[in-house]
Structure 1
Amino acid sequence: MRFSRQRNGVGCGDQSNAGDRFVLGQIVQVLRGTCAGEYAIIIRKDNSRTLWLVNKDRFTIDHPKQKNVKHVQPTNWIAEDILEILQKNGRLTDAMLRYALNQYLLQRKGE
């Protein structure tokens, strides 16, 4: 699994349009709700305030969680393989997303 850090300008700065801080394939930490403290991947953005998230356990590709951008914290990491698939055809599997999250958590634990 390939990860990249966000480029300058993305994910920081102007708070007037908070949705611009988030990109598809980005790993975020949930701050509010029943999944608080867990990590998830962004698979869709509806507008500047709404994200659709998938995590390892509860929220799958078929039933992603809709979250307000105020309730998640962006990380600086983007799952490049997931981003490429989302940009090409959007056909992801739950196994791909679980693998990406597990790899991110292993990397984070090693730091």
Structure 2
Amino acid sequence: MIESESTVPRIGQIVQVLTGNERGSYSIVVQQLDERFVLIADGDKRRFDRPKRKNIRHLQMCDHVSPEVHNSMMETGRVTNGKLRHAVSKFVEEISEKKGDAFNGKR
């Protein structure tokens, strides 16, 4: 997993939760409240209509922004839970493939 150089979260950015009950899970930033807090959702346990308010210090910013989620949020101000689930699962699949390649000696 690559941590972003920028600590400023972007709409549609994948984050890993570092603290709390959802520790270790991946979510997507759906709104920035201020310089310290964002709203995150994953489309499954955390739906778009009930996002989790999280301090950005409790999140690891991944260097990936989902274009589908970002575009949907910019155009309509909403995103479907299906798009959120798809973006998270696609990202998790990509990083598991990279870990598998690294384990098998490929790069």
Alignment TM-score > 0.5, same fold:
yes
Structure 1 gap segments, 5+ residues each? 6-10
Q: Which has the higher mean CA deviation after the structures are superposed, 51-60 or 23-32? A: 51-60
The separation in 2 between residues aligned to 1:78 and 1:39, in whole angstroms, is: 13
| Residues matched between the structures, number | 97
Partner residue of 2:69 out of 56, 78, 82: 82
Q: Does 1:58 align with 2:45?
A: yes
Query: Aligned residue for 1:8?
Result: none
Moved runs in structure 1, 4+ residues, more than 4 A? none
User: Aligned with 1:47: secondary structure?
Assistant: coil
Query: Aligned residue for 1:12?
Result: 5
Q: Deviations over 1:41-99 (max 9, x none)?
A: 00000100011000243210110000001110100011011101111112311111001
Structure 2 gap segments, 5+ residues each? 99-107
The separation in 2 between residues aligned to 1:53 and 1:41, in whole angstroms, is: 5
The separation in 1 between residues aligned to 2:11 and 2:79, in whole angstroms, is: 13
Equivalent residue letter for 1:57: D
- Identity level (%): 27
Equivalent residue letter for 1:50: F
Q: Superposed, which structure 2 residues align to 1:1-111 within 5 Å?
A: 11-12=4-5, 18=7, 21-111=8-98
The separation in 1 between residues aligned to 2:50 and 2:68, in whole angstroms, is: 21
Equivalent residue letter for 2:5: C
Q: Which has the larger radius of gyration?
A: 2
C-alpha RMSD over aligned residues: 1.8
TM-score, normalised with respect to structure 2: 0.83
